[in-house]
Structure 1
Amino acid sequence: MRKLLLIPLLLLIVTSCKEGTKEDITLPGSSGNTNKILAVVKANDWEGKIGDEIRTVFGEHQVGLPQPETLLSVSQIDPSGYKGFIKNSKAILILKKGKDEDISIERNKYADPQIIVHASAKDEEGLINLINSRGKEIIKIFQEEDIKFIQNIFRKQRLDESKFKTIQNLGLSVVIPERYKLVDDTGDFLWLRQHLKSGIARGDGSNNILVYSVPLEEGMDVADNISAMRDAIGEKYIPGSKEGMYMITEAAYTPHTYEVKFNGKQAYETRGKWEVKNDFMAGPFLNYTIVDKENNRLVVFEGFTYAPSVNKRNFIFELEAIAKTLKIK
């Protein structure tokens, strides 16, 4: 009788241990590069109308780059092959048939960090409609997750911003990885540079960060003045190899400017191309101009890339991740 009473107690202890260890499981690290997703979809759907819609929506080109590059790179695997280490992919889109036309999100299910977006609809037509109507939303979900991923890495490699006069004088905080080296720090203008170590640009290519502010004039149309402000800063601080050469906004390419919210403040995001006046150097830039009405100024964070003959999407994306850590104290 005593042994029989012990059995339920032992079962309870074993069950409790299992439940406790399940929460304490250490997930393996995820695999996959930034801005790349794995689509889990049947091969015949991938080759058909569903795949065509995915390639159309996810294959939209990123504005401001000198060569055509898609917002996201998508690879496909059949559901039958979605097993084992494949499930450890960092960004996964699963398309499946279901009752409701909707999307749902899972995080860190098989690996860490990981995001899985489930897109379901009752039939082929519904899936096509879902991708068409909510594709940009899905893209944003993946991109924001990649931004967080990059920022978490950079926080572990952060430069000591107290060493930079401009950051201190402007009353800012920003997470910049330590591989960026100082070019200029006047107290009003900061320029940091990272030499790139990949592709044909090895040794020559660089990612650059600029931080500065300009006065906010009454009645000023900020969006219409961003290129002129950039050109003035370029002439003053970013010279070319000879006299009369300096960085300007490329005259032949109109930048794309969007009004955005930046940590709760009105701001403008501008993507375009820069060039060196009277020279052949050029590349893409990303500019955030933040309206700081409390201090009657515009705070500017700009990233620009020089990487001839290689793709630049991920370089600019890294600069975007850094920019979005900026805060006005």
Structure 2
Amino acid sequence: MNLTHLRIKAILLLLVFISVTSCDSVTENNGSKSHLPVALGESNAVLAVMDTTQWNGPLGEALREIFSTYVPGLPQDEPYFKLRNINPLKMNSILKTAKSMIFVSTLDNNGAQSRAMQNYFTTSSLEKILDDSSVYRLAQKNQFARGQEIVHLFGQTEDQLITHLKRDKELIRNYFLNIENKRISQSIFKVREKQIEKTLRETHGFDIQVPYGYDLAKSQRDFVWIRLLDPEYEKNVFVHFRPFNTKEPFDDVLTYREELTSSYLRDIQKPDIYMTLQNENKNVREVNFHGKYALETRALWKLSDISAGGPLLSYLFVDESQQRLYYLEGYVYAPSKDKRALMQEMEVILNTFRSGEDFTAGK
């Protein structure tokens, strides 16, 4: 057995042991270690601990395709994540408390930085992974700080790891997106507008979680609008519903949206002004919305007099148990501000929506 094979064997066994020991140690405080510091750092930021030479080459580019791709439906280019490279030789106690990290290594790199990556592994005797080249990632929680998420990405060769990353880029991105959405949910729903939620349940037969500070701006027979007004921005969510008797809205959801907003979202003082769509950045795709076929739309809205505009996110679906067609939308108005984080909140709020059998079952 040559030296390279021995090195591959040792490192991969160490990586497997990480998953085993982390599962054994995650027992206190819902998966946290009480003696550790609290994870810190800004939202949507990921530290990539890896050899800087690989960061500046094809492997780093494959990672940027995953994390630094621009979010669709925003007026300015904003990436899903702020991805920053950390030289493993320069890791310190502060950097180790980052909320989200990836540790990236390949065994065909013998540089000092790559060798330093071995310090994060613990020995084990799980030999079978050597023969399974499909295994390339392992997740850890609370390794250096409470509330921390780490994913190890590794390969026997750089080319092998790049192949995995390109194939599963959406899977990896969605893993971290789900983490960020859970963090947002824990933050914005600490205090909720329970009375508004009760009104929507009792009056309209659906449930949605409403963060503190939102007002019930409109509640009609088939239309509900909640919003939060701040001196620097507006956050808005509206729900329209009607008996499901035609599939036409699914044929052209953008036209359907125009019909709704021109009817329900006109300026009270200036009724000639209504909400419409901009021509740029329209993105419609099929998704699974809590087990229901849905169309997700990310686009840009504007007022008809072009006095305001911003991004929107919507879902169109049918609740068969109610025989209702639902259209949910969240949109923001935040001039001169980044929209990425605000639209994440809209997504989190919309995804608390429950109706029909899901609503009655309390899911």
What is the TM-score normalised by the length of structure 2?
Answer: 0.76
User: What's 2:94 paired with?
Assistant: 85
Structure 2 regions of 5+ residues with no counterpart?
1-23, 108-129
| SS at structure 2 position matched to 1:214 | strand
User: For residues 103-182 of structure 1, what are the structure 2 equivalents within 5 Å?
Assistant: 103-162=137-196, 165-182=199-216
- Asked if residue 260 in structure 1 is aligned to residue 287 in structure 2, the reply is yes
User: For residues 277-296 of structure 1, what are the structure 2 equivalents within 5 Å?
Assistant: 277-296=304-323
Asked if structure 1 preserves the Cα contact closer than 8 Å seen for 2:196 and 2:216, the reply is no
Asked if structure 2 preserves the Cα contact closer than 8 Å seen for 1:164 and 1:185, the reply is no
Residues 36 and 295 of structure 1: CA distance in aligned 2, closer, same or farther (over 3 Å) = same
Residues 293 and 126 of structure 1: CA distance in aligned 2, closer, same or farther (over 3 Å) = same
| SS at structure 1 position matched to 2:341 | helix
Residues 31 and 122 of structure 1: CA distance in aligned 2, closer, same or farther (over 3 Å) = same
CA drift of 1:210 comes to: 0.9
Residues 302 and 184 of structure 1: CA distance in aligned 2, closer, same or farther (over 3 Å) = same
Task: Give the whole-Å Cα distance in 1 for the aligned partners of 2:168 and 2:150.
Answer: 15
User: For residues 94-109 of structure 1, what are the structure 2 equivalents within 5 Å?
Assistant: 94-98=103-107, 100=133, 102-109=136-143
CA drift of 1:235 comes to: 1.9
Q: Deviations over 1:116-169 (max 9, x none)?
A: 111101122223223222222111000011111111223321211556644433
- Asked if residue 317 in structure 1 is aligned to residue 344 in structure 2, the reply is yes
Task: Give the whole-Å Cα distance in 2 for the aligned partners of 1:299 and 1:186.
Answer: 14
User: For residues 195-234 of structure 1, what are the structure 2 equivalents within 5 Å?
Assistant: 195-196=229-230, 203-218=231-246, 220-234=247-261
Q: Deviations over 1:186-239 (max 9, x none)?
A: 34322222235xxxxxx2421111122133223x14433322332222122222
CA drift of 1:56 comes to: 3.1
Task: Give the whole-Å Cα distance in 1 for the aligned partners of 2:220 and 2:200.
Answer: 7
Q: Deviations over 1:223-262 (max 9, x none)?
A: 3332233222212222246331101122x23622222111
| SS at structure 2 position matched to 1:146 | helix
Asked if structure 2 preserves the Cα contact closer than 8 Å seen for 1:191 and 1:208, the reply is yes
User: What's 1:4 paired with?
Assistant: none
User: What's 1:244 paired with?
Assistant: 272
Given residue 316 of structure 1, which amino acid in structure 2 is its aligned partner? M
User: What's 1:58 paired with?
Assistant: 67
Residues 52 and 65 of structure 1: CA distance in aligned 2, closer, same or farther (over 3 Å) = same
Given residue 193 of structure 1, which amino acid in structure 2 is its aligned partner? R
CA drift of 1:105 comes to: 0.9
Residues 254 and 215 of structure 1: CA distance in aligned 2, closer, same or farther (over 3 Å) = farther
Given residue 140 of structure 1, which amino acid in structure 2 is its aligned partner? N
Task: Give the whole-Å Cα distance in 1 for the aligned partners of 2:161 and 2:245.
Answer: 50
What is the TM-score normalised by the length of structure 1?
Answer: 0.84
Aligned match of 2:297 in 251, 270, 273? 270
Task: Give the whole-Å Cα distance in 2 for the aligned partners of 1:186 and 1:258.
Answer: 29
Given residue 48 of structure 1, which amino acid in structure 2 is its aligned partner? G
| SS at structure 2 position matched to 1:230 | helix
CA drift of 1:299 comes to: 1.9
134-143 vs 28-37, greater mean Cα deviation: 28-37
| SS at structure 1 position matched to 2:280 | coil
Given residue 88 of structure 1, which amino acid in structure 2 is its aligned partner? T
| SS at structure 1 position matched to 2:252 | helix
Given residue 320 of structure 1, which amino acid in structure 2 is its aligned partner? E
Structure 1 regions of 5+ residues with no counterpart?
1-18, 197-202
Asked if structure 2 preserves the Cα contact closer than 8 Å seen for 1:29 and 1:111, the reply is yes
Task: Give the whole-Å Cα distance in 2 for the aligned partners of 1:273 and 1:304.
Answer: 9
Task: Give the whole-Å Cα distance in 1 for the aligned partners of 2:249 and 2:27.
Answer: 53
Task: Give the whole-Å Cα distance in 2 for the aligned partners of 1:82 and 1:22.
Answer: 27
Task: Give the whole-Å Cα distance in 1 for the aligned partners of 2:185 and 2:82.
Answer: 21
Task: Give the whole-Å Cα distance in 2 for the aligned partners of 1:180 and 1:22.
Answer: 37
Task: Give the whole-Å Cα distance in 2 for the aligned partners of 1:260 and 1:127.
Answer: 29
Given residue 225 of structure 1, which amino acid in structure 2 is its aligned partner? D
